[in-house]
Amino acid sequence: MTGIASSQVATPSNVNATTGVVKNVSLANADTEYDHSLPAGIKRFILRNRGSGELKISFTENESGTVYFTLYAGEVFDSGPLGELALTIYFQSSLASQTVEVIEWS
């Protein structure tokens, strides 16, 4: 996991969590799989495609180019409340030098 910057955020009232952290995940190369591990005990996460390329997202390693869902530029994915699990997210972008914004609540 490279290119991660983070900061604290306010926790929404509908999430039973105490800590919200913003992380920016840099995707340096196009069509290359990157991973981001969410911490154990995660209660919710949000992803936003800050870049202009198509962002391919998978929850299975080596499948972000074949079995994925797509976030287009500016789109957001909200996991909704989770059962305090550990999870790794896999990303690819159609363009180089893109950023994925991740908000994690635990």
In the predicted model, what is the mean pLDDT of residues 66-70? 95
Q: In whole numbers, what is the pLDDT of the chain averaged over residues?
A: 86
Q: What is the pTM of this model?
A: 0.79
Give a three-class secondary structure readout of the chain: CCCEEEEEECCCCCCCCCCEEEEEEEECCCCCCEEEEEEEEECEEEEEECCCCCEEEECCCCCCCCCCEEECCCCEEECCCCCCEEEEEEEEECCCCEEEEEEEEC
pLDDT tens per residue, range 16-40: 556 789 999 999 999 999 999 998 8
User: What are the structural domains of the chain?
Assistant: 4-105 (2.60.120.10)
In the predicted model, what is the mean pLDDT of residues 88-92? 96
Is the pLDDT confidence value at 60 over 80? yes
